[in-house]
Amino acid sequence: MTTWTFFIEHRSEIAEATLSHLTLVIIAMGIAIAVAVPLGMLIVEHATLRNIALGLASIFQTIPSLALFGFLIPIPFIGGIGRRTAIVALVLYALLPILRNTYVGLTGIDPAVLEAAKAMGMTGTQILWRVRLPLALSVILAGIRTATIITIGVATIAAAIGAGGLGTFIFRGVAMVSDAVILAGAIPAALLALIADIFLGWVERRLKVV
């Protein structure tokens, strides 16, 4: 059985898995952005919180993904078998790049610009929303882009805990020792990552302030 015929025969199944994979990634990224960007804004001013948040996010990043999925299964409420556990793990993975880039973007602004803003009588809130955030946006987006690519890859492993997605084909293919089945999961996953990278890269350039 060639890869090509497997693709043709299972096209609706592959499309379904791709869609479920994409949903998993979008939900996880949505939550990760909603958590990491405000947290990144908060840690600019709070050194203790900064060390804790960046430290924790780094630790999550170092746990091998399969192990992280395994660790989460026995935890009540967020754990168990299925999508919910997978989403929690993906969020934990996505936090660090977004958090770090938000922090770096907000703090890496020309001090002369910030001094001018303060000297002109802008309040701290005004400086954050009208100066820091717009200038940090492209750096924050670069973090979101990195996190998205990672999440698309790691989400294939989520199939191991029954979360579905393209990983289903990969695990099945490994068990069947069939390249065709593995590729049915791997190729769409790679394409998703590539498309996300190109699209977010384009948005990032649009937001960049010279």
Partner 1 sequence: MMVSPAGWRCQPKMDANPAPPLQATIEFSEVTYRIAPSPAPAIVSDISLTIPHGETLILLGRSGSGKTTLLKLVNALLLPTGGQVLVQGRSTSNWDAIRLRRGIGYVIQEAGLFPHFTVAENIGLVPTLEKWDKPRITARVEELLTLVGLDPRDFADRRPHQLSGGQRQRVGVARALAADPQILLMDEPFGALDPVTRAELQREFRALALRLRKTIVFVTHDLREALLLASQIVLLQAGRIVCTAAPQEFLRFDHPEVRAFTASLDPAAGVPA
Compare residues 10 and 118 and give the one whose CB is closer to partner 1: 118
Task: Give yes or no for residue 128 binding partner 1 (CB under 8 A).
Answer: no
User: Rounded to 10 degrees, what is the CA torsion of 75, 48, 136, 118?
Assistant: 150
59 closest CA partner among 20, 23, 26, 92: 92
Q: Of residues 8, 15, 59, 113, which one binds partner 1 by CB under 8 A?
A: 113
Task: Give yes or no for residue 13 binding partner 1 (CB under 8 A).
Answer: no
User: Rounded to 10 degrees, what is the CA torsion of 206, 38, 25, 68?
Assistant: 140
Task: Give yes or no for residue 203 binding partner 1 (CB under 8 A).
Answer: no
Task: Give yes or no for residue 45 binding partner 1 (CB under 8 A).
Answer: no
> What is the C-alpha to C-alpha distance for residues 181 and 161, in angstroms, rounded to an integer?
19
Task: Give yes or no for residue 64 binding partner 1 (CB under 8 A).
Answer: no
Task: Give yes or no for residue 119 binding partner 1 (CB under 8 A).
Answer: yes
Task: Give yes or no for residue 122 binding partner 1 (CB under 8 A).
Answer: yes
Closest CB 145 distance from partner 1, rounded Å: 20
Closest CB 49 distance from partner 1, rounded Å: 19
> What is the C-alpha to C-alpha distance for residues 202 and 157, in angstroms, rounded to an integer?
28
Compare residues 55 and 121 and give the one whose CB is closer to partner 1: 121
Alpha-carbon Rg for the chain in angstroms: 20
> What is the C-alpha to C-alpha distance for residues 102 and 21, in angstroms, rounded to an integer?
26
Task: Give yes or no for residue 131 binding partner 1 (CB under 8 A).
Answer: yes
Closest CB 198 distance from partner 1, rounded Å: 25
The span of 13-21, 53-61, 115-123, 176-184 binding partner 1 (CB under 8 A) equals 115-123
Asked if residues 140 and 105 have their Cβ atoms less than 8 Å apart, the reply is: yes
User: Residues 132 to 171: which contact partner 1 by CB under 8 A?
Assistant: 134-135
Compare residues 11 and 130 and give the one whose CB is closer to partner 1: 130
User: Rounded to 10 degrees, what is the CA torsion of 28, 37, 96, 132?
Assistant: 150
The span of 23-31, 58-66, 88-96, 121-129 binding partner 1 (CB under 8 A) equals 121-129
Task: Give yes or no for residue 47 binding partner 1 (CB under 8 A).
Answer: no
> What is the C-alpha to C-alpha distance for residues 29 and 24, in angstroms, rounded to an integer?
9
Asked if residues 105 and 207 have their Cβ atoms less than 8 Å apart, the reply is: no
Residues in contact with partner 1 by CB under 8 A are 110, 112-113, 115-123, 126, 131, 134-135, 209-210
